[in-house]
Amino acid sequence: MIRLPGLIDPHVHLREPGATHKEDYDSGTSVALAGGVTLVLAMPNTKPPIFDAATLDLVLDSAKAKARCDYAQFLGAGPDNGDWANHPSLPERSAGLKMYLDSTFGQLRLDDMSLWMPHFQNWPRSLPIVAHSESRSMAAAILFAAIYDRPVHIAHISLKEEVLLIKAAKERGIQVTCEVCPHHLFLTQGDIPAISHGHPGRGEVRPRLATQADVDALWANLDVIDCFATDHAPHTIEEKDSDNPPPGFPGLETILPLLLAAVGEGRLTLDDVLVRMVTNPRRIFNLPEQPETWVEVDEDAAYEIKAAESFTRCGWTPFEGWKVKGRVRKVVLRGRTAFEDGKILVEPGYGKNIRA
């Protein structure tokens, strides 16, 4: 048995409000605990999107009643909510600001760079800005970090050109950090037929699965990658198999076993994982330590990933049938056993808003 600190996932979609048939604060934080994650940062691309005091209060009310692990909620950057200086308490109540600068699911996309400017100007420097940006829009986000002289965290990088540009930006002192998702480390475009089972929508995710050369470049430049994040983006299997499949993969329950399998193969060290799932996210997102919190993992337990055994409402996983080694046995969160041997043992509402 190995004992790890509680893991932090800075990028999850809990679908609350507006799409709780896919997931909600209860099911999503249960999946987190089952995956060894004790603190999640929830994205704002909900219905309605979370972009002001009223919508933040709306989601935080549900979270307070339902969450089983600790959490914070992102605000979203919209076309006309960049006057953050006029609402000083609002950013402090959030996980950070999420900016959608590229193809995504939901309504929070900012195409025109003049819409980015007030956010970069007015969002407090002590709180993170997270950019969903790909390729050239990522280069633009890094340029904004340099121009406005403030930190920017790039969500889910997937391409060789992206990791190389972030490396170069870091070498020049630009305040940029980044995260990578397990599906971009362990899957390529070539895996889409196997994931799809005849339903091509199941292979849809943003950013798209990339080439083997891209995946190799991520592994070759692990030192550039600050965090591992799931981008847990549940959509039901019926939605994924429909004519208009939304992009997104669930990931909270599979991140640790996949990474531990890579540790077992010598591709990573356990310390590489903990730096990227505890130390760095805590620093980048300015998160408190969780006292009396740990995860017990049976590193020798081999098993097969099965969506049917998961707490997620979405009913599928792109890693169905994968054989992994390393199972979360027990999670203790702030002194209470929150998960043990497949059972969630804390009630909805036990989870704490770490920004409250």
Question: What is the size of the binding site for ligand NCD (CB under 6 A)?
Answer: 12
Which option in ligand NCD, Zn ion, none does residue 94 bind, with CB closer than 5 to 8 A by kind?
Answer: none
User: Minimum distance from CB of 233 to Zn ion (Å)?
Assistant: 5
- Rounded to the nearest 10 degrees, the angle between the axes of helix 53-66 and helix 25-34 is 60
Minimal distance, residue 13 CB to ligand NCD, in Å: 4
Sign for the CA dihedral angle at 16, 22, 23, 27 comes to: positive
Q: How near is the Cβ of 235 to Zn ion at its closest, in Å?
A: 12
3-state secondary structure of 242: coil
* Minimal distance, residue 101 CB to ligand NCD, in Å: 11
If the CB atoms of residues 23 and 231 are measured against Zn ion, the closer one turns out to be 231
The 242-271 site mask, x for binding ligand NCD (CB under 6 A), equals ----xxx-----------------------
> What tokens does 10 get?
């800075």
> Distance between CA atoms of 8 and 301, rounded to whole angstroms?
23
User: Residue 202 interacts with ligand NCD (CB under 6 A)?
Assistant: no
With the CA atoms of 10, 16, 22 and 28 taken in that order, what torsion angle do they form, in degrees rounded to the nearest 10? 40
DSSP 99: E
231 is an interface residue for ligand NCD by CB under 6 A? yes
Confirm or reject binding of residue 13 to ligand NCD (CB under 6 A).
yes
Residues 177-236 that bind Zn ion (CB under 5 A): 231
Q: Which of residues 94-133 bind ligand NCD (CB under 6 A)?
A: 104-105, 132
The token duo for 25 is 């604060």
| The residue to which tokens 């959509």 are assigned | 235
Q: What is the DSSP letter of 247?
A: P
Cβ atoms of 51 and 100 closer than 8 Å: no
Note whether 45 binds ligand NCD by CB under 6 A. Answer: yes
**Would you give the distance in Å from CA 19 to the centre of its chain?**
18
Residues 84-119: b if buried by 16+ CB within 10 A, e if exposed: beeeeebbebbbbbbbbbbebbbebbbeeeebbebb
Tell whether residue 233 is a contact of ligand NCD (CB under 6 A). Answer: yes
Instruction: Compute the least distance from the CB of residue 356 to ligand NCD, in Å.
Output: 25
Closest approach of ligand NCD to the CB of residue 137, in Å: 12
137 binds ligand NCD (CB under 6 A): no
Binding-site size for Zn ion (CB under 5 A) equals 1
Write out the residues near ligand NCD by the rule CB under 6 A. 13, 45, 104-105, 132, 205-206, 231, 233, 246-248
Write out the residues near Zn ion by the rule CB under 5 A. 231
